[in-house]
A and B are shown apart, each in its own frame.
Chain A
Amino acid sequence: MNTDTNEYILQLNEITKSFDTVKVLKNITISLKKGEILGLVGENGSGKSTLMNILGGVYQRNSGDIILNGQPFEPASPKVSQDAGIAFVHQELNLFTNLSVAENLFITKMKKDKFGKINKKYMNRIAKEKMEKLGVADITPGTIIGTLPMGQRQMVEITKSIMQDAGIIIFDEPTTSLSNKEKLKLFEIMHTMKNQGKSIIFISHILEDVFEHCDEIAVLRDGEIIAQTYTKDTDTATVIKNMVGRELTNIYPVCAKEVGSIAFEARNICQEGRFEDINFNIREGEIVGLFGLMGAGRTELLRCMFGLDPMLSGEIEYKGKRINPVTPVNCIDNGMAFITENRREEGLLLTKSIKDNVVMADLNELTRKLHFIDRSAEQKATDKMVTDLKVKTYDANKQNAGTLSGGNQQKVILAKWVLKEPKIFFLDEPTRGIDVGAKYEIYSIIQNLAKNKSCVLMVSSEMEELMGVCDRIMVMNNNKITGVFEKSEFYPESLMKSAVGGAK
């Protein structure tokens, strides 16, 4: 690495950051040259967002130096960073959809005329100038944001970032919601900015894009920078290896079970603007993992097949019987179960007792004459589930689900479905935010489901966990299945290669 500090616009030296006792960033050292695009890659949870939030003044670092333009820099608040010329383009757009393009661009500094009235003419003119500078003159400053397609909104967001003459622009996964054509336009703008002498940090999960557009690539893994190299000096294989190269440390329950013949099939699943022709199957008693990086479309695929999001065309079938229509009620009637990643919002009745939560999906089975609930059967079922799944509670009839720990909350959700004995389980990030001990118990529950001949499809961002639990892993990238791996083919490098868009 070149030590001549003059050509660097930004240098981070030995940055560390801990949340409570967890070290999320360990001695991060990276540098950004003037007029350069730096790609920042790493798995979910490797610390990219934390690092950028420190730079943006959202979090405060524990130690380390930041040098901006050769001077020490202290990003004490988002405003300080902004004024120092660091701008963000976020994945989720922060635009006011009910205001015009120009109003959004001037949102913090509306130009007023001498009577205190907002000077629209002036704002529109400057907005036009700024957008022309980026080569996006086709957007009229007076247009209301809500009427623009996603791609053009992204352009407005980028224009917003240069309103304050930022020298450093951070793009945080800007392409996730864009079409291919819009993506090309975005990269064109990035290069335009680069040629105007601005420096860019580009965070992306799509390695192909990173290799094509970045001058340097930095790889982050478990809060450490593994390598920062010139793009020309490295290749995809090395970057992937750097992203995943860690030992398997967790222990997974072993459970003797038989995998039978194909039981669940999904054919030609299409969703407008997202999936085209997704096909896969699950065998009886098989646990299939669905790996992919953030925004690959895994959650969306599950939701689509459970009828929570619209399915344009395609069919799902269990043991030769087509499940139609695809609505949550009908899916459940046909033996499907879905554990959402959004535990608190879509999984639990937080203010209701554990009992209410456990029996919630099983009310039909507990109903007797005249629609009365069989209360002793209800109690028996709850007690059995609490014991079987080891839910830690003082009283399942009294304790609210919201007061349980994350792991126990997840167990309650699992109990809700295990009680119903469904044949097809969709699990979306079943162990997110759960401590190691509870994780092990949840893996055991999942293994037991498969042992009882259920089909399990499990989404996870933790590759290691999928390798430990699953019989087969499918990998998604950009809304497509890019690889299917049998147990004997589980290599972190090959999984990651599929996840970042390379062929198997």
Chain B
Amino acid sequence: MASLKMEGLKKTYPGGVEAVKGIDLAVADSEFVVLVGPSGCGKSTLLRMVAGLESISEGRLCIDERRVNDLEPAQRDIAMVFQNYALYPHMTVFDNLAYGLKNRGIKRDEIRRRVEEAAQMLEIAPFLPRKPRRLSGGQRQRVAMGRALVREPAVFLFDEPLSNLDAKLRVQMRVEIKRLQRRLKTTSLYVTHDQLEAMTLGDRLVVLNEGRIEQVGTPMEIYARPASLFVATFIGSPAMNLIPLDYLKETGNGLLNDLPEGTDLIGIRPDDLRLQAPSEPHLVVEATLELFEAAGAESHLHVRLTGNDQTLVIRTAGQPRVAEGEALRFHVTRDAWHPFNRESGQRTDTLKHRAAAVCLLDACKRSGTHG
């Protein structure tokens, strides 16, 4: 139970490489915050700075209002789950869980109680006398979680804990982590490069790029209103389509005239290009179907814009009756446009267009049902 505060955190490696370039972030008590970004964006470095495994070059790090910049990891009241689990191979599962407690001088009865409780919670009780090498990947993952759990720390830190698991187990463990965090209400910081994991796990997301925060918000806020081109293309799969405004103006209508100043790119989510024309005013995009991918409940249409070389990806529910090579018309309603400026990479309707934001709230609800 604790809050976590970062003020201007910076990490400069010897040789002048800046991995983390000033992060300000406040994590509330019992909040689950996910740091997400492509590899090399500094998310792991940031997490390791919080853990105390990397030194902090500049800035302030507080756990529960206590400055912990110069404390050893063990004194920070945190627990960490590593990507490759980092279990002690020569110790039994029980000893793996108990090791940190022993080092803190906790009494033997209390250690036994806590280990057994955690083992119960994670369903690893039958494996307590085994060595880690006799466990499967998923079981090791649970042991690694258990080791964090028994510490009863103020903050949980997860460093891509699911990336070594196969796809099915990953989904299962993801649900379990979320459930566990809900139950324990321990403040958590979770690093991943998988945007789906980020969207589903976090109370809030922090999208990082090149050592800086691109955007902070709830998953749906970020999905519905990406603050920059980077976030727009990183979050959401398939990625958001970006169409030059000039092209749309050539083929489009008057709807595009009152866009915020500086807009030269329009982002449209793959779900927002509809085959059926809606009754409200909308934009029409003409394109040729190049490739049709059926993926069960949904289909992906890879199309090429008419009179332009750009390709788009469109996601529709079910299997529409279309043939490859067919010319199609797609309809985009007003609330599905994301105006950007290519030069700055920023969203252009950030402050001025409050009215649009109201529309976007609807969009938020809507995409919540099928996003």
* Same assembly: no
**A residues in contact (CB < 8 Å) with B:** none
**B residues in contact (CB < 8 Å) with A:** none
